[in-house]
Amino acid sequence: MTYTAMVIGGGIAGTLSAIALRKAGHDAVIYEAYDKTADQAGAFLTLAVNALDALRTLGVDIGDLGFDTPEITITSGSGRLLGRLPHGSSLPDGTTSRTVKRADLYRTLREHALRRGLRIEYGKRLVDASGTGDGVRASFADGTTAEGDLLIGADGLRSRTRHLIDPDAPEARYTGLLTLGGYARGVTTGGEPGVMHAIFGKRCFFTHTTHPDGEVWWAANPAQRTELTSPSTYDWRARLVELFRHDRGPALDIIAATDTFLPGWNTYDIPSVPRWHRDRMIIIGDAAHATAPSIGQGAAMAIEDTVVLATCLRDAAGPEAAFAAYERQRRARVERVVAQGNRTGGWKTLGPLARVPRDFVMRLAMSRMAKTGHDPSQWIYDHHIDWEHAAS
Ligand SMILES: Cc1cc2nc3c(=O)[nH]c(=O)nc-3n(C[C@H](O)[C@H](O)[C@H](O)COP(=O)(O)OP(=O)(O)OC[C@H]3O[C@@H](n4cnc5c(N)ncnc54)[C@H](O)[C@@H]3O)c2cc1C
């Protein structure tokens, strides 16, 4: 059976879902709310090897975007090195994590979609959807409608599709952390290019890595009890200086060498969405299982979703059987990743008393990992999806 899918959202999950469906012999049109993919466009993210492996399965080469980030160091706010480890494993051919600017990634994915003849319609915000018997009719905020055999909601954290499938679906949960960041030039960090440096500061988490061209990419996660209505409107420089004043390390120098800060975000996750699909509609990516950024796996999970969904739609007897097979393959894994992301984020919000035991436990864990070569998160990175035999 060949389907035409309406894919809602032109972010990572949406664009790659259309590419994966095309590879599986189906057709797809992407409907994106904005005139370009928008959220956090200035930020960067790390594609772990499970994400790169899934991209490879789809034949999507991200070329020379960003740079390899194969190692991570973890340091305390007092400057003590707690550990130096591989940053999320490597593939058999030596491929390691790659850190990319989000806007570059979106642009490259869009180019791949267009090269495959896929259509992207901008300014199409989904507001409603209803069954037509053997398909779905989607209504957009501009008053237009579209029809297709399936509707795939890849519309992110605030997914409209999630609520069309289940009006009682949960909302995103605020994690208690903000993300701020930027790019600095002309500053000496003491770090080598390609090494991700994570600093569990006395009052705030800070991470930085240096591009081979010398630009320093950095982020900070201030703990903030309640979410901010509009984090992008604050002047963060003074607050960050205050937060890192008592730490050893390059945070203050990097902040001083940053001309423009990224706007700043509240961060969220969604531990479990009970219903992922109904009739001919399904949600994938952040719409179904947003993951706290601390674990660096949200985009990776979205990419994996697209491969699995396309193989299920290729192999199952009909859409509902395909969606059920998809959920069987994805739910346990993504919910485990979301739970681990939540725990990792929790390490960043600890107060002064809990910091000392935290640093001790981290140092022990790092040294055990270095000695045994076993990373307890290996199950995340080792996940390979076989395109030929994926569906069950
Ligand atoms: C600060 C931060 C750092 C992160 N770092 C990492 C990292 O290092 N590694 C990693 O793997 N992940 C990371 N993530 C997570 C990752 O960014 C997300 O998991 C990923 O972008 C999810 O992709 P998506 O396509 O599901 O959603 P999105 O990228 O949010 O895309 C959703 C798209 O749908 C569109 N849309 C929304 N509503 C509608 C509608 N009603 N109609 C039509 N279109 C709509 C939006 O405009 C958007 O283009 C990070 C996240 C944050 C916030």
The count of C-alpha atoms lying within 13 angstroms of the C-alpha of 92, restricted to the half-sphere facing its C-beta, is 2
Interior angle at CA 66, CA 295 and CA 36, nearest 5: 85
Q: Is 201 exposed, middle or buried (0-12, 13-18, 19+ CB in 10 A)?
A: buried
Rounded CA-CA distance 18/152 in Å is: 9
Ligand 1 lining (C-beta closer than 6 Å) = 8-14, 31-34, 37-40, 43, 45-46, 51, 124-126, 154-157, 160, 179, 265, 267, 285-287, 291, 293, 296-300, 302
Q: Is it the case that residue 122 has pLDDT exceeding 80?
A: yes
For tokens 């959202």, what's the residue? Answer: 9
Q: How confident is the model at residue 37 (pLDDT cuts 50, 70, 90)?
A: low
Confidence bin at 351 (pLDDT 50/70/90): confident
* Residue of 7, 32, 101, 218 to mutate, ligand 1, most atoms within 8 A of C-beta: 32
Atom in ligand 1 nearest the alpha carbon of residue 300: 11
Mean pLDDT of the chain: 93
Which atom of ligand 1 lies nearest, measured to the CA of 159? 38
Predicted confidence at residue 39, as pLDDT, reads 56
What's the pLDDT tens digit per position in 168-202? 999 999 999 999 999 999 999 988 999 999 999 99
Query: If pLDDT is split at 50, 70 and 90, which confidence band does 230 have?
Result: confident
Please choose, from the candidates 264, 329, 342, the residue with its C-alpha nearest in 3D space to the C-alpha of residue 297: 342
- The answer to whether the beta carbons of residues 273 and 289 sit under 8 Å apart is yes
pTM: 0.96
Atom of ligand 1 nearest to the CA of 127: 41
Compute the average pLDDT of residues 63-67. Answer: 94
